[in-house]
Structure 1
Amino acid sequence: MSTDLITELKPSKSAPLFGFWYPASTSTALAVGQMQTQVMLGQPILVCRNKQGQVAAMRDICPHRGMPLSFGQFDGERVECAYHGWQFDTCGRCRHIPALVEGSPLQPEKIGITSYPCQDQDGYIWVFLPDPQQPKLPVPELPRLPLPSKPYRMIQISTILDCTIDDGIVGLMDPAHGPFVHQSSWWRTKASMHDKAKTFEPIPNGFRMVPHAPSKNSGPYKLLNRLYGGPLTTTIDFVLPNQRFEFVQCGSMYVSSRATVTPVGEQQCRIDFAAAWNILPWLPFAKPLFRYFANIFMKQDKQAMERQAVGLKYKPALMLIDDADTPAKWYYKLKAAHLAAVQTGRPLDHPLKDRVTLRWRS
């Protein structure tokens, strides 16, 4: 067997990337005057929505005695610690310490906790987690879900994966698992596998599968063709640190989706999926139908990752083959190139220099 087309990937620590935006919660899960805690990249993060509907994020640890602020109360303006009643505004600045006597020289407003840039966009509340090595770098723009026209409908689905961040992301971009993991009479089967050739090109911090005709063995795409006619095209982007965009278009009709994998701890991630569409706007049960099929896919991927984790706990070396595993190789190289660029201050050395066509069966 020729080994020049095989890359052996030896087990190593799967470290998350700081200096990027990550989803913390769905927008609808955080009402006005509420707060919610999340662990992101191993960090305790408190997100809250004030009386004006604006979102904010801060470290979920009181600097006094280490009590998580999420055990306390939020009145829409200040978070009150449950241990000693210290109060913090949504910028993380201490505004009141009940134990202080009148005339105390201690100034509470000089005490603060780390706050983070926070945005409510595309159905999610996003938090920017700066790189500890480069904390003063400018905050980049949050990549938006492609939504070329309104009105549209949208769903969000989240689930926990028991895997490392790298394994979760590689699973997100894997092009060859579909016939084995997502088997269904309305989607695809192993018997329907055929040769594919897709062209990829570099984009900032990622790569793109350029617009192409989607798989002919896909039931939903067949339905779109029948309803709206051609041409039908699909574009798929992967962007560091963890975002996979897919945009399906048929004339003025579209389905736009984004999946992200956010590390919670070293061996656990949360996958968040959002989809928006303007197809079949008259269909009364469109959202339940989209959610139903998306949940099926999510559960199938979750089961596959949980089964894979049984083998990965023994830390085996992995074999990445050309061309089906090339996107995974690009991800690892992109991640390494980003870390090198942060350390050296030089531009990112993109592993994909020009357009390339990959071929595989699925």
Structure 2
Amino acid sequence: MFENLKPQPADKILALMQMYRDDPRQEKVDLGVGVYKNAEGVTPVMRAVKAAEHRLWEQQTTKAYTGLAGDPAYADAMIELILGNAVEQDKIAAVATPGGTGAVRQAFELVRMANPAARVFVSDPTWPNHVSILKYLGIETVPYRYFDAETRAVDFDGMIEDLKGAKAGDIVLLHGCCHNPTGANLNQSQWQAVVELLNQGGLIPMIDIAYQGFGDGLEEDAAGVRMVASSVPECLIAASCSKNFGIYRERTGLLMAISQQGDAQALNQKTLAFLNRQNYSFPPDHGARVVTTILTDDALRADWKAELEDVRLAMLGLRQQLADELQRLTGSDRFGFIAQHRGMFSLLGTTPELVEQMRVDHGIYMVGDSRLNIAGLNAQSVPILAKAIVDAGV
């Protein structure tokens, strides 16, 4: 049996991480892996997370299974965080998942179950695992234009033109905020235009929101998601707590299925629970219970929001520092887009050959598509990166 297995393509980011570890240079800079790091290069445990875990350690009396959908209190807390009061609770079915990736996978499974003929339209570019999972599941994937390599902004006219080619029942995958890998986001008028197109075409949005609070703020980053969810007949939302709570290894996510039909929630909830049962049975609970503890306690929630805001502002500061340094070195504002992008990532929009040149000459490690993790920088490494970019002629 095993002799029939075929080697699978290596994960480019994991391969990049190994190359970085093997590089003996002291001034090497890791901008590949999508993990937040502070100025000391550490991914810290947030204060509120530590306090919530200590409380659980003192008070938790069992490690027995939760339900197939996870703890309902976790779903309620996350729905309130992401949607506020934009959608009535009885319209929403939700299940806990192993991280945002688990939520994405379950959403695609649900699409395949409900409409095997549906195509999924994905932004070009998008998070590579979106396409990888869709390909593995045998779901047809259609790219739509998103990033303008000249302006390093959203190619909105191209996006709308391509989405007009979607058929009723097709899925449109959208990034809720802090687009990965580009850092270029839709503004509110563009979100409204997307809603109008979705409704005119009978298209179903699926929103992946993995970075709420990393862009313009918790409420601001959710504005587009809330607009879509409250304005279309049906919607899927895959959410992650890895980044904004810093609990990457706890694998804490949520999948929501929203329907404006009054009688659809019960069937949707049972279907999501069924899919959980088939894939991993009961979802992990520790991270979910930590998140619930934080979001339902006024003091912990306030402390978490304060620390998250510090993280957001630190990334904005690094963006501005890098844009300013590049302007100083080049005498041009052509890199001003870096300060305008939001979230952990920006796409430089250069070639794999120049990315490799920066690695060889300066020890700059970024993915070949030129996605750089802003959170991998600090005040000392910004000038190193800026010089590498200029020397390579990006």
TM > 0.5 between the two? no
Q: Which has the higher helix share?
A: 2
Range class of TM-score, shorter chain: 0.3 to 0.5
Greater Cα radius of gyration, structure 1 or 2 = 1
Output the TM-score relative to the length of structure 1. Answer: 0.35
TM-score between both structures, scaled by the size of structure 2: 0.33
